[in-house]
Structure 1
Amino acid sequence: MNGAFEVSVWAREAFGGAAGELSARIPEAIRSAHATALTAHVAADMTTNDTYGHTLKVKQYELLVAQVREVPGVMIRRPQGMRFDLAVVPETNVAILPLRYATDRKDRREDSRLAAPVSDLRQSLLGLNSSAAPRQLTIDHAFVDDDALASGFEELEELDRQLRRFGRLVVIGYASNPAAGVWGIGWGDLELKNAATGEITWPHWETLPEISAGSAATHSLAADLSVVGRETSRFDSSTEDDDDFGLVARPSWARVPVSETTNENTAAERGVGE
């Protein structure tokens, strides 16, 4: 199914015996998610990319799980507090996360950042691979009573505990927009270096096969669409309902993170960076 694509030593260490089949199925899942989002975008007759972006956020999880569910050595798990299932390889204790890293072909993956400041929930998930400092109190916590503060941190610690059972997170990275289609699909290790700025690094990255039977139609349809506005290179930062990678648990004392509502660029980017 994956033709002449050669699975690397890194991939076999990450995914064990499932590496070969995953390398073929994962790009198909991402292309299918894009195609579904594109169909919704066209049907909605939108002048912005909101419908595309919102659909893609959900379908990237659902279709990835659907594609890899039957792969030997892969199991599907949903940690408490997550909206979506994750594909897990128990043999190597690895969880797989889809993540769009860019929406403009001019933007390099290496230069991408998360929308800042990064919420506690994103830190919990990306912290599986991170050497960053542990979560600390902020100025906002000074206005929260002790009981609520303790309860909030207990919820986050429980989420951390569940996620760390996976041991390691492998990110399925890709870039897309309605006009240009999907490009730059790959997998690798991602580390969150600075939650305040959204700075990340990619200690390892490998490109996955770009060509598939259904991709040509998807790209040609996308190329025919007229999309106006500026694209943004930050992960899913252009809409107001950032989904924290499907994590929904949030302490009662916490304000809605800036990355979930607006920032200084949101008004200009809304609907055109999906």
Structure 2
Amino acid sequence: MPVARVDCRSFAAFCQGHHAHACSIPVDELPTRMHELPKTSEPLALYANAEDLQKAAAFLTSKGYQVAQAIEWTLKLEATLQAAGLWQSGEQSQRLWQPAPLLARFVTEFMPAHQIQPEQGLDIGCGAGRDMVYLAMHGWQMTGIDYIPGALQRAQQLASSQHVTVTTLQLDLETGQDPFGAFADGQFALICVARYLHRPLFPWLKRLLKPGGVVIYQTFMQGSEKFGSPRNPNFLLKAGELAEVFAGADILLNAVEILDDGRPVSAFIARY
């Protein structure tokens, strides 16, 4: 199985030279940049000096990662990488994170198949921003909303690392009032929601979509409570619920996907 390579030295040291397929995350930044790592099922190869190597390996192991290789950075290693054509200098850092599979499928499959052009998009409950940044990398002008300031800060840092620009807004979406007053009717050609469900928002989402706009909704369904959280029925979709909510739209995808841990999630894409 291939490994994901993480260089845990300082960024300055990384820029001076690194494994060509490595991602730069200094050891002290690991706790706040976990969203830049792959799934825990993907083994890691770490690079650092001896002290930082031990620290990084201990931290990542505690988070459920398998550290397949812990490689001390030495002059001999530099020479080996150069001889093998695997030496690279500069700021280019390998992207290890991935968006939600449904978002990747939307970009690679549904956009070309339905001639959907990137315009303004809105990510509701954007978290650390992987989906939003991925869409921005493919031409979308993305705005992300979340309640947690730290999450929005991480989203901006992720966007900067990928050389794209996103807009982030801190909003409480569950006040009982319209939280989208700053946006115009029909402003967005895309609205995406992942792992978040607050049913009172549904009417307002329709208001924000422009004609021909797309809604992508992926969140936990009834049955997830058998495997873990969430267990509150307010946070669990019913079978067929989204098709009913967005009746009248052209439903491009309405399926159920199963996560690695057994929880069912919606895979829903509809176009107005």
TM class, shorter-length: under 0.3
TM-score (normalizing by structure 2): 0.23
Q: Which one has a larger percent helix, Structure 1 or Structure 2?
A: 1
Larger radius of gyration: 2
TM-score (normalizing by structure 1): 0.23
Compare relative contact order (CA 8 Å, sep 6+) and give the higher one, 1 or 2.
1
Q: Which one has a larger percent strand, Structure 1 or Structure 2?
A: 2
